[in-house]
Amino acid sequence: MLNPSGFRRHTRENSGGHDLNRDYREPQTMEVSAHIRWLQAQPGFDVSFCLHEDWEATGFYLYELNPQQSPSLAESMISAVAHHFAIDRSPVIDGRPACDGVIRPESDPAQRDRWPEAIYLRAHHTSLCYTLESPSAFSLSDRIEMLTLAVRAGLHHFLSRRSP
């Protein structure tokens, strides 16, 4: 958990009022600075999964950053969650075009002023990054189950395509 003070107050911002998930380009907060130092000590990642929740969401959805056009894991994750929970199939989610619960935003870090964690990871650690969003209105156990189903399906799909 990167934002324990925000979690306690049910907000994205830390105790200083900073949105930590927009602080990764030029970090101003100790939380993100510490996270970046830890990440810099790690090897590159084949894929990353950022686990989030969205207080406005009506169902599960995800963001995919995939600039090298690798085989997508998005549909397998959406399908796994859809067997048990609602998917947000709105054509616009969080102000971005979406298709069947998948948002594929511009992922070029140079085009973004304020970087979320996923853009930082895409710029420095991986070319395949997913941000999974569960709806805050659902129970904690349901949100955890949605995220678990998605990560398991994504990892299974990713690993199955790498195995001979």
Find the mean pLDDT for residues 26-39: 95
Tell me, yes or no, if the pTM score tops 0.95: no
- In which residue ranges of the chain is CATH 3.40.630.10 found? 46-162
Find the mean pLDDT for residues 149-159: 96
CATH number among 1.20.144.10, 3.40.630.10, 3.30.1300.30, 3.30.1490.20, domain 46-162: 3.40.630.10
What is the structure's pLDDT at 106? Answer: 80
pLDDT over 70, % of the chain: 99
Q: Which residues pair with 50 in a beta bridge?
A: 131
Q: Which of 7-21, 79-93, 135-149 has the lowest mean pLDDT?
A: 7-21
List, in sequence order, every beta strand (DSSP E) within the chain.
48-54, 61-65, 92-93, 96-97, 102-103, 129-135
What is the structure's pLDDT at 163? Answer: 61
What is the structure's pLDDT at 164? Answer: 59
